[in-house]
Structures are given as C-alpha cells and as structure tokens.
A and B are shown apart, each in its own frame.
Chain A
C-alpha cells in the first residue's frame, strides 16, 4: 500500500484534472513554445525540445519537482503561471494526502477488525473445545455415579434378601423340625409293630392279643395316622414357601408378566411371616384386582421392603395390615403398621437416597428410594402418611391401562 506521506511526483500532482484544459491554459499563459517537465527530465506537457528562453522551477514543500521552460518574453506572466501551477500542486497534494491517509486508516481499522475477529474465532474454538471436554467429563462422572448407584441398588437388594433368607430359614426350619420329630416317633412305632411279628407267624392268637395290648397299639395306630397327616401338611408348607421364594428368584430380571398382585402380596407376606416379631400379627384385606402387566420381581421387592420396615417400626406387640383394592382407575396397595411412626421433620426426606434414621451399617439408606424408583418405573406413585406413636401407612398407586 502507498503511504500517505510518500513523495509525490509532478505527474501525480497534475493528474486528476483535465489534461486538455490544462494544456490550453498553459498555452495561453506561457505561449506556444513551452515545455513542462519533471526534474528527471520526463516531459509532461509542451514541446519535446526545450525552447530557448526562461526556465523556472516548480516547487512543492522544499524542493523543485519540475521545470517550466518557455520562450515567452514576459517573465511576470511566466512567474504567475508557476505560482498558479504551484497552487494547483499544493491543493492536489493536500487532497491526495488526505484521501490516502483516510484509505490507510480505514484499511488499518479493517485489519484490526479482522484480527479481532480471528481472535474471537480462536477463543470461540477454545471455548467449544473446553465445552466438549467438560461434556465428556460430565458424562464420565455420570457414568461413574450410575455405576455406583447400580452397585448400591444391588447391595440394597441383597440386604433385603438377606433379611428375607433369615425369615425363610425360620419358616422352613419349623416344619422340618416337627416332620423330623414325627419321623422319629414313627420309627419307634414301627419297632412296636415288630413285636407282633412272632405271634402272628406262629398263629398264636392269645400271644398276639397280649402283645397288642402290651404295646398299646390302639393308641399307636391312631397317633400314627395323625402324625403322617401333620408331616404331610408340614411338607406342603415347605413346598409352598419354596414356591413363594421363586417370586424373588427373578428380582433382577426385567421380564414383564401379567399377574394378579394379590398373589404376589400373599407370597411375600408368607415369606415375611417367619421374620416378624413374636407378638406381631399380620392381617390381609385383599380385594379382587385386575391382572396388571408389570415387573413382578421388582414389585415383590417393594412389598418386601415395606413389610420389613413395618416390622421394624413395631417394638413389642403390634399389627401389620396389608390392603389392596382398585380406586380411581388404579390399583392401590397399602402397607400399614401401628408402630412408632415417622417424625414430621423427617417425613419429607425418607425417599432421599442414603437418608436413614438407623444406625450406620444397619441399612443402606436406599430401601425406600428403590421402592419409589420401582413404582415410578411403573408410572405409579408412592405416598406416606404417618403420625408419631400411631403408626405409618404407605400407599402405592399403580395406574391401570
């Protein structure tokens, strides 16, 4: 780019105006015989050959830029011509410098703007990169949290199933115990019947009769059949418990099934029964329910958690009530107890993850969180109603399709 303060040549200073008019004017002033040239000797106007006569410098600033040569004898006229040309040169220089400076300033401003624009783009790119990196980090963290949460959920399931196992063991131990005891008695009875073998083989009717009485076999016969009946019912109980347990064997499976939730409630209450406190009684009030497409294993865990909580709320004697019915186009299941109740200041927080009022190590603090999440996953909601000293009722609402 040309700098505004560069040296301007005479040619430049006389450009931009009509050449013809200037030539005519010069001819009128300096006569036919004239020559206008730059200091380098380059001809601008007039004769190629220098006319003999006067030679005057044309000056801008402090040095001559060219010469006017003429054979015109009137020197005043020539000096006037030079003065006019210098005025013209000065005016053109002023205009040229101002416009060149303007161009220079504008283009400098433009370059400055472009530079700032480039800076902005660079900084935008940096921010984008940063945002992407943060996004990645957030996703990594979210994944870490989700993994940890999944592990905690798993731990919670194992914890409640651990409690369940203790209850189930008790439930199974009881019938196994009396079945074993009955079988021992049955073996004694068989020994007694062996005493009849000898007189029976010899046809000794009197001996047979004596032996019968001696072994009190009338009583044994009667007791034996009662004993077998009792053992059979015990075996049935064990079979039923095992069947109920199957409902929990698939707590992790996400397979949906059409079920009658009353069956699930019965199964879970059966399993929990052995785990209840000695003076805790459980009442079921189950109204007929339509079958529901759901994740039965998951809902079983909800019922189990609520029942175990209810049991823990009762110290000494108490009653747990399990109700089911249909209300407002939804299945409603309520688990209530007449235990200690939940203080009002704690109530809003009970579904929060890791919130627990129990001692460290005795609960994961996730039991109710898991319940809420499972119910939410079914499009339902879980509510709690509690009063200190009177008890607590949890209500689950599962919308029907």
Chain B
C-alpha cells in the first residue's frame, strides 16, 4: 500500500525487483538510472559486498509532480537474491506496491528461478501482501547469453500464468524500460483506487507512466 501523505502532499510508491541470486536485479536498476529521465531523479544507493553481490538492497529514488502539485515519489528497491538473506528479503518486500520478478533465462537456472518465485509467493504472504492481487511483472533476463531457454519454451511454461511476461538483456538495456513501464501500468490501477490519481490529481495512466519514465513512454 503506497504511502499517501496528504499533509506533505506526497505519495510514496515502493517497487521491488525480486529474483534468484545474480539474475540481474541490480543491473536493471543501474540501466533504469541511465535510461530514465523523470523530473526528479535521486542518486542510486547501492550496498554491495566486496564480490558485487547485493548484501542489503539497492535503491533508486525517482519523483515528479502531478498536475495537482502532488509529489509522486517512486522508490525502486532490489533484494539480495542469495537464499541465506531471507530475513532481509522479507523486510525489503514488506509494504511494496509492485514487484518485478527478474528470472535468469539460462537453462541451468530453471530450478533457482522456481525456488525464488516460490519464495516470493511465501514471503509476500508472510509480510501480509495479497499475492494474487499484487502487481507483478515477470522478466526473463540475460537474453544475450547462449544456452538460454527459448521464448517459446518460456511462454509454454509461463503463458498460462496471470502475470505479464517480458524479455530483457539488462546489461545492454534491452527490455529494461518495457518491464518497468509494464509494472507502472499495473501499479497505477491500485494508486487510482487508493488516492484518486486521475480524478483528484489529474494524472492519467499514460501520463503517470510517461512522467515516471521521463518522456520515453511509447504506447
């Protein structure tokens, strides 16, 4: 549930990049930092171990003002993918408004993807999120690598699931923005219900996605 502070005239939206270890969650955030041009863009905050593995989280803050003057803050987090950091993952996931599940397309990672997704579903339930209604986009990353599952194979496996599917190569930036924008569209519906973004603040879905990504919206 986004944090709507009427006194400060501020809406804070939390988005989390979840997924197995080294599937490219931090890389997604780095690319977004480069690609996005919203009105307000904070510095990316990373907390890595010496091996470039995320220990606590990464944070990319973004923001813009709705026509009404409402400050919309987007906080993009990553979780540590390593199995051992489950307590941290749960804490980062709590109160999130939407999730990008970053899966690793490599054939060898199928089991890790499945376990991590299961972990996401369980943790969502533990921190009190309704997983069935949680905005979620599944991104199959590392499309630029050899030995990956084909799009057909992935669609055969995930096509029947209710979540939108995106393909990406985060290192080169392919699909990163599309994934983010898809999540924004999903999240918008909840925000509209919660605080009337469109009706009260004059911010439609397309305008929301456009403002958050800084004029790169294509649809």
A contact residues vs B (CB 8 Å cutoff): 3-5, 7, 60-63, 90, 93-94, 97-98, 101-102, 104-106, 108-109, 112
Contacts and interface: CB of A to CB of B under 8 A. Distances in A.
Nearest to B96: A5
A62 B40 CA distance: 5
B184 to A, nearest CB: 16
Interface in B50-98: 56-57, 59, 61-63, 71, 73, 75, 77, 85, 87-88, 90-92, 94-95
A264 B12 CA distance: 104
Interface of B: 10, 12, 14, 40-43, 45, 47, 56-57, 59, 61-63, 71, 73, 75, 77, 85, 87-88, 90-92, 94-95
Contacts of B57: 97, 101
Contact of A62 (B41, B45, B47, B77): B41
A287 to B, nearest CB: 86
A103 to B, nearest CB: 9
A97 B77 CA distance: 12
Contacts of B40: 62-63
A4 B95 CA distance: 11
A360 B189 CA distance: 85
Interface of B is mostly: strand
A62 B42 CA distance: 5
12 contacts: A5-B75, A61-B75, A62-B61, A62-B62, A62-B71, A90-B43, A101-B88, A101-B92, A105-B85, A105-B87, A105-B90, A106-B87
Nearest to A95: B47
Contact of B91 (A60, A63, A93, A105): A105
A232 B40 CA distance: 137
B95 A3 contact: yes
Contacts of B14: 5
A109 B42 contact: no
Contacts, number: 60
Contacts of B94: 3
A90 B88 contact: no
- Report, nearest first, the 10 A-B pairs whose CB atoms are least far apart: A62-B63, A105-B87, A62-B40, A61-B61, A61-B42, A104-B91, A109-B87, A105-B88, A105-B91, A98-B56
Contacts of B59: 5, 97
Contacts of B77: 5
Nearest to A6: B3
A57 to B, nearest CB: 12
A133 B81 CA distance: 47
Residue among A7, A61, A104, A108 with max Cβ neighbours from chain B (10 Å):
A61
A106 B59 CA distance: 20
A93 B56 CA distance: 13
B192 to A, nearest CB: 22
Given A5-B14, A93-B45, A61 B73 contact: yes
Contact of A90 (B12, B45, B92): B45
Nearest to B61: A61
A65 B102 CA distance: 33
B91 A108 contact: yes
B62 A108 contact: no
